Amino acid sequence: MSSDADTSLPTPAIVLTPQQWRSKLTPQEYAVLREAGTERAFTGEYTDTETSGVYECRACGAELFRSTEKFHSHCGWPSFFDPADSDAVLLRTDDSLGARRIEVLCANCHSHLGHVFEGEGYPTPTDKRYCINSISLRLQPKDGPTS
C-alpha cells in the first residue's frame, strides 16, 4: 500500500493562504483540515450515521465519498472502503507518531481527511479502511442539501 502513497503532490486546484483558510473554517475545522489534527474518537457527527448521500470536503466542497461505500468499523470515525472516485483523494506517507501510516488528503484542496489502512480483515470489497474525521466532511443527503 505504501507504494500507492505519493510524497510529491500536484498543485491543488484551490490554493488559499492560512489566513484565508482561517476565515473560511472554524478553529476546530482548521486544526484538522489544515494542520492534520484528529478529532476525538466517537465524537464526530458522521461516525454512526446511516443517511444516504455524498460526503464532500468541508473545506472546498469536492465530492470525496458516498454512503454506499461507508461501513461500520467501530473505530470511532467514519469509515469507507473506497473513495467516490479514485481521483477524489491523494495518499501521502505519514511517518509522524513513530509509525508509518498513509494520510488521506482531498485532491482538490489538499486538506487533511484522515488515514487509510489495509489488510485489517474487514469484509469489504477492497480490504481498506479510509478512517476519516467527521469534521473534514459535509454530508449532502440523497434527498437534497442540508441547511
Q: How many domains does the chain have?
A: 1
Which pLDDT band holds residue 3 (cuts at 50, 70, 90)? very low
Which grid cell sits at 117?
A: 489502512
Catalytic residue among 57, 60, 106, 131: 131
In a domain, 94, yes or no: yes
User: What is the pLDDT averaged over residues 21-33?
Assistant: 97
Is there a domain that residue 115 lies in? yes
CATH code at position 31: 2.170.150.20
pLDDT of residue 2: 36
The DSSP letter of residue 31 is H
pLDDT band at 9 (very low <50, low <70, confident <90, very high): confident
- Residue 147: inside a domain: no
**Beta strands of the chain (E only): which ranges?**
53-57, 63-66, 70-71, 79-80, 89-94, 101-106, 112-118, 128-132, 137-141
Region 48-57 average pLDDT: 96
Cell, residue 112: 487533511
Task: Give pLDDT tens digits for 85-125.
Answer: 989 999 999 888 788 899 999 999 999 999 999 999 999 99
CB 81 within 8 A of CB 122: yes
The pLDDT value recorded for residue 99 is 83
The whole model's pTM is what? 0.89
Q: Which domain holds residue 22?
A: 2-7+14-141
Joined together, the cell numbers standing for residue 142 give 440523497
Query: Is the pLDDT assigned to residue 44 strictly greater than 90?
Result: yes
For residue 111, give the C-alpha cell: 486538506
According to the model, what pLDDT value does residue 6 have?
A: 53
DSSP-derived letter for residue 123 is: S
* Known catalytic residue at 106: no
Q: The C-alpha cell of 67 is what? A: 454512503
Task: Please provide residue 107's backbone torsions phi and psi, each rounded to the nearest 5 degrees.
Answer: -70, -25
Residue 146 lies in a domain: no
Average pLDDT, the chain: 91
